[in-house]
Amino acid sequence: MNLIIVESPTKANTIAKFLGPKYRVLSSYGHVRDLPKSELGVDVEKNFQPKYIVPTKSKKIINLLKKELLKADEIILATDEDREGEAISWHLASILGLNGEKKYQRIVFHEITKQAIEEALKNPRKIDLNLVDAQQARRVLDRIVGYKLSPFLWKKVARGLSAGRVQSVAVVLVVEREREIEKFIPQEYWSIEASLRKEKNKKEFIASLVKKDDKPIDKLEIKNKEEADKIINDLTGAEYKVSNIEKKEVKRNPLPPFTTSTLQQAAWQKFKFSAKFTMQLAQRLYESGSITYHRTDSLNLSDISLFAAKNFIEENYGEKYWAGYLRRFKTKSKRAQEAHEAIRPSYPDKTPSSLFGDKKKDKMAEAQLKLYNLIWSRFIACQMNQAVFDATTIDIGAKNYTFRINGQALKFDGFLRVYPIKFKEAELPVLEREEVLELIELLHSQHFTQPPARYNEATLIKALEENGIGRPSTYAPILSNIQDKNYIEKNDQKRFRPTEIGTVVSDILVAHFPEIVDVNFTAGMEENLDQVAEGKKEWTGVIREFYQPFAENLEKKYKEVLKKDVTETPTEKICPKCKAPLLIRLGKYGKFYACSAFPKCRHTESLEENALKIKCPKCKNGKLVEKRTKKRKIFYGCNQFPKCDFALWDKPIEKFCPKCKSILVETKREQVKCSNKECDYKIEKKKVSDKIKSS
């Protein structure tokens, strides 16, 4: 009997289906060794050697594997093909005593299919210690930063805070974007349009002003209403005549297949799936044998998959829909591992409906179906012909000004048949050159430039990737961790904004540990880890180069940085209990008023800026304020607590129910409803009438 060990029970079950009775497939259930949680676990005095332990949850499975080992003729380690998977195999080999009396083989594959497993079994290798070292280096680096820097934050800011080598950079990106938004000064500008038609009773169309004296008009060139009015006055009595008609065929290429980053971005844009949820779904699809490995930054595609896509396209859509050649894509990133493949269906001929059938009753299966459909259609589309549009541009002259209308019509859908992309199809009037048009009216509109948008799941992942921060396996944990730590949160539009504590932690790290949160430094460290993986650098040397200046700076900052300078701001307010001055203090969940006589006096109250200016409907004395539970869930309660215990989960508004006079609240479903659970009053948010009595 041959024993195959993988890291996941689902993966074990899938592989077992392809193999006969000569093989037994078992799972390690993830990592079997790790650094201890109770201590640093890295000996910085002895070449940064890690102290690995077997967690309690892994002891039972290790004992089972050791028993099965005695019965096995051959041991095969088949964990994932990335650094993390290589490290799991290495830890298994160490614990199980492989390569002594018991020899082992290591196999890797990009997809869990019968053909891929059989091919891997024919081409075994040994554990790649360079990949293991790269994983160890990352783990040790992250442990040193987390376990050395977090206590500094506890002492100088608040207990329970933590810092991460890569996560902290993501927080800084969000804070910097928020500062850009705060500093942004809108610029006024105006646009001018002409409403025209061929003749009476014909359909009107709109043309935009684009040139003056044959020179393009910049978007911000018309700065105010006076300048817009001047142009409109200049156009008084002008004749509007078609000056040019340009028609051309425009071809659009399909997008490349997915990498981890682009899959997470697309899943957010189409379904609002978080990066974490997307990876959970992709993990299930991979382990069930439906898709190739889902942690990759490569756009490489195997010849087998390309020919399978060609056959499927020609059989189901016709020859004209195939690109006419095997379309290959080159990864822009220098760090991409080209030996890996892009994310694609394991069996290109298995359509989403044929693979999943009717599973709409199961929410998780429905979500998997959505993601599989996205992966399958993107892959099939990337081998299809271009989409072809007929594009038309019509210029209309009026005195020394030029107005323009653009339009396009789909001529051949090509890849869009499988992977639809929204585009504006504009129907243009049939016009001829030198044709005179009738002016209905000139329109001018005021606009203001907009600040940069806050990051959402997709754009923050894109920013991390573009800046070389993290790897395909880390994007989802980064976003998840910094939200769990309350450093960033999502607003009503599901965009990220920093919390008060997130901003303070970011500012401290930027001011005192710039190398930790510097984008270039972090990207450079990723390059070092890549070189370790390639055998070009020794992992302990990379750690040593980082650790010495970091440790020296940390020791200095413990002496220089005072907690009160970070967490306390004097005020002119007086404590209502003991008459001592009140301070604005910073806690783990934000700022609040606290008595300076603490711990003798424990009086605290919310800041005015957190108050909603709505009187408490219960006690009539306090105001409603935004608060958080211990698990950081937002709720709204009276600032006179514990004297008054009035609280709501939904955000109250300064209006009252026309039925029972209770306060109204806004729900996440764009509704306004009564806060009284016994009252059924509700209305769409946009239809809330001014007739509802305000307080």
- Provide the CA 443 distance to its chain's centre, in angstroms: 40
Sign of CA dihedral 199, 205, 211, 216: negative
Q: Which DSSP letter does residue 358 get?
A: S
DSSP 471-540: -TTTHHHHHHHHHHTTSEEE-TTS-EEE-HHHHHHHHHHHHH-HHHH-HHHHHHHHHHHHHHHTTSS-HH
3-state secondary structure of 631: coil
String of DSSP letters for 239-268: -EEEEEEEEEEEEEPPPPPB-HHHHHHHHH
Q: How far is CA 688 from CA 429, 467, 658, 668, 684, in A?
A: 41, 45, 11, 15, 7
User: Three-class SS string for 273-292?
Assistant: CCHHHHHHHHHHHHHCCCEC
Contact 297, 333 (CB under 8 A): yes
Measured distance CA(678)–CA(314) in Å, rounded: 61
**Cβ burial, residue 626 (10 Å; 0-12/13-18/19+):** middle
Exposure on the CB side of residue 515, measured as CA atoms within 13 A: 14
547 as an active site residue: the answer is no
Cis before 642 (ω within 30): yes
Let me know the angle formed at the C-alpha of 104 by 72 and 77, rounded to the nearest 5 degrees.
90
Residues 279 and 479: beta-carbon distance below 8 Å: no
**Nearest residue to 488 (alpha-carbon basis) of 499, 478, 473, 480:** 499
State how far the Cα of 686 lies from the Cα of 296, in Å rounded to an integer. 44
Strand order, beta sheet including 568-574: 568-574, 581-587, 590-595, 604-605
Give the torsion through C-alpha atoms of 514, 517, 523, 524, to 10 deg. Answer: 30
Distance between CA atoms of residues 212 and 397, nearest Å = 10
CA distances from 269 to 381, 456, 467 (A): 18, 9, 21
Give, as one character, the DSSP assignment of residue 339.
T
Q: Could you give the C-alpha distances from 310 to 76, 321, 377, in angstroms and in order?
A: 35, 9, 13
Catalytic residue among 293, 317, 321, 547: 293
Other beta carbons within 10 Å of 475: 28
Hey, which residues are catalytic here? 293
